[in-house]
Amino acid sequence: MTQARSGAIFVATIAAIVIFFGSAGSAEPPATKTISAIDLTKPFGARSEWRFTATQAPDQPNRDEGPIPGIITLCLKRAADRTCSPALAQMAPPPDPSYASMWKPRQLFVAGIVYPRGRSAPPLLLTRTGGSIGGDGSQPIFTQLLAYRRDRDRFESVFSRMVGRNTNPEVRFVEAGPLRGDVVVAEPTENAPFGYWVTVNRLTPSYRYQQILRYRSATRYGDDNPLAVIDSEMPNIQQRLGLWRPGRPLPLPAKGCPKPRLVKMELWCS
């Protein structure tokens, strides 16, 4: 082999190595993905083209617990706008800044259009997101409902609430039954006997939510009742609102209740 040919092969080999590693080093980072997209124009009878989107960044590596879901960005925007509407709020920052990363949404539980007064009345946009899950199972969960204001061609938040996860709290938009369209919230009390504050929020004619009931639950934390707190409290809720009275069939959860019974106004199904 001549020296000239040997030199040419060496140069070509180096060039191939540079091209290989150069292309590997310049690889595009994982792309953000769209996990929800809803056209709001027709369902809300909007004057402009409105759209809801939720995009999620790539998972973040974690050596100890496996990949952490990427941060979710929610956006409510008119086609002509360059920025998202501020009406779609994010979870309020925590009192302790060291927990700020937990509050960033990483799970999208619900994103959809709901009809609090049936299909013939204006709908609402419902979103529910969850932050990071802590070592004790805690997780901030943020629920929001938005109404469309046609006269101003914009969406407006009409209800928002954040609860935790590991003490069985819940924010529930009721889609059927005598409480249809109401938002029921169960939040743990801070003193004994440990139970829950139950509130019912009702949509007013002007499409704003107003609290109409608040009481301390009959259900106790850790009483081994497998029902969700709102389900176990439903007879109590409906009686206080004049929608049920003893002697009538008990208001039962949608998943069924094989052996319904009341124990001090708490519903049990076994």
One-character DSSP codes across the chain: --HHHHHHHHHHHHHHHHHHHHHHHTPPPPPPEEEEEEE-HHHHT-SS-EEEEEEEPPPBP-TTT-PBPPPEEEEEEETT-SS--TTSPPPPPPSSGGGGGGGS--EEEEEEEE-TT-TTS--EEEEEEE-PPPTTS---EEEEEEEEETTTTEEEEEEEEEE-STT--EEEE--SSTTTT-EEEEEE-SSSS--EEEEEEEE-TTS-EEEEEEEE-SS-TTS---S-HHHHTHHHHHHHTTS--BTBPP---TT--SS-EEETTEEE--
Using the predicted structure, report yes or no on whether residue 236 has a pLDDT greater than 80: yes
- Could you report the per-residue pLDDT of 130-177, keeping only the tens digit for each? 998 887 778 999 999 999 999 999 999 999 999 988 889 999 999 999
Q: What is the pLDDT of residue 29?
A: 61
Radius of gyration of the chain from its Cα atoms, rounded to whole angstroms: 26
- Could you report the per-residue pLDDT of 97-110, keeping only the tens digit for each? 656 667 789 999 99
Question: Measuring CA to CA, which residue among 214, 183, 222 is closest to residue 197?
Answer: 214
Q: What is the pLDDT of residue 21?
A: 36
| Tokens read off for 43 | 């369902």
**Tokens 């049990």 label which residue?**
268
Q: What is the pLDDT of residue 67?
A: 86
Q: Tell me how far the alpha carbon of residue 98 is from its chain's centroid.
A: 22
User: What value does the mean pLDDT take over residues 217-233?
Assistant: 96
Q: Which residues are bridge partners to 170 per DSSP?
A: 186
Cα-flanking dihedrals φ and ψ of residue 75, to 5°? -145, 130
User: Comparing 10-14, 106-110, 140-144, 224-228, which segment has the lowest mean pLDDT?
Assistant: 10-14
Judge whether 198 and 218 are in contact, CB under 8 Å.
no
Q: Give residue 265's identity as a one-letter amino acid code.
A: M
Judge whether 154 and 164 are in contact, CB under 8 Å.
no
| Tokens read off for 16 | 């191939």
Give the count of beta carbons closer than 10 Å to the beta carbon of residue 96: 8
Q: What is the pLDDT of residue 7?
A: 45
**What does pLDDT average to over the chain?**
87
- Could you report the per-residue pLDDT of 57-67, keeping only the tens digit for each? 999 887 777 78
CA pair distance 219, 225, nearest whole angstrom: 8
- Who wins on pLDDT, 191 or 197? 197
Judge whether 196 and 171 are in contact, CB under 8 Å.
no
Q: Where are the domains positioned within the chain?
A: 27-82+101-162
Strands 107-114 and 124-130, by their bridges, are: antiparallel
pTM (predicted TM-score): 0.85
User: Comparing 16-20, 112-116, 118-122, 123-127, which segment has the lowest mean pLDDT?
Assistant: 16-20
Using the predicted structure, report yes or no on whether residue 193 has a pLDDT greater than 60: yes
Using the predicted structure, report yes or no on whether residue 9 has a pLDDT greater than 70: no
User: What value does the mean pLDDT take over residues 175-197?
Assistant: 96
Q: Give residue 112's identity as a one-letter amino acid code.
A: G
